[in-house]
Amino acid sequence: MTELTPTDMLPQFYRAVTPLMSQLHHKLVFQDRERADYRYAANSPAIVLTTDEFIPAQADYPIVFSSGDTPMPVVLTGMPGGLNCHVDGEGQWEAERYVPAYVRRYPFLLAKLDDKATDLTLCFDSESDRFVEEEAGNLFADDEPTDRAREILSFCEQFEGAVRRTESFVNELRDLDLLVEAEASMPGEDGTPRILRGFQMVSEDKLKALRGDQYRKLVQSGALALIFAHLFSLRRIGALFADKPGR
């Protein structure tokens, strides 16, 4: 199988990105398990989140924004350089916690096959252990996608749509200059402060200073509700310092 992207440019979790093709993968079986195995996310202390997920996620995780020129919302699932506190040694996500769509999408994704491509193609991580080859696969039948393959494609399309909406939301925040670099700290067991840096958040002071027309625009676009969900979620940062990986 030919990899689409150099290893150092692959998205989080992915070790290879390969276009899914009926001619090549008609024997491929995607192994659905009764209990999903999230070991691939066990070493990820921050995971991309779309705005469609702010409401269900804000009760379980701090939602912050990545630093840099193109910030995106992420949920913090552990301390920087550490592990995902919500995945145990059996690969099970902590019960009753929201599992981000980015995690549930793996090992599939939509990607452009080259820089000139205008359409997205359904691809998969060919290095994932959730695929085997058998006499007959469950993603294609008679060179046509099965219902399972169509469901996967539909989920990936919905995710891409959510990413576009998220980018629009972030652009709205940037246009109003609402994002600021932030940090959080808490005394460690030995009294030495533990400091969390390298993320952005919406400035409440800047939000309060907006003009009436700017504020109304945020209300009308739905952005204000998302901002409140983000700010409300920050109360979870304290728990993050205390969380220990479940393995």
Least confident of 85-89, 159-163, 183-187: 183-187
Asked, for residue 114, whether it belongs to a domain, the answer is yes
Residue with structure tokens 């995780």? 61
Number of domains in the chain: 1
* Averaged pLDDT for residues 90-119: 91
Average pLDDT of the chain?
A: 89
Asked, for residue 182, whether it belongs to a domain, the answer is yes
State both tokens at 235: 């109360």
Asked, for residue 197, whether it belongs to a domain, the answer is yes
Coil, helix or strand for 140? strand
Asked, for residue 2, whether it belongs to a domain, the answer is no
**Is there a cis peptide before residue 107, judged by omega within 30 degrees of 0?**
yes
Q: What is the pTM of this model?
A: 0.90
* Averaged pLDDT for residues 222-232: 97
Which of 18, 43, 38, 13 lies closest to 28, judged by CA?
18
At residue 63, does pLDDT exceed 90? Answer: yes
Confidence (pLDDT) at 33: 67
Residues of the domain holding 12:
7-242
> What percent of the chain is predicted at pLDDT more than 70?
91
Asked, for residue 29, whether it belongs to a domain, the answer is yes
CA torsion sign, 217 to 218 to 223 to 225?
negative
Asked, for residue 211, whether it belongs to a domain, the answer is yes
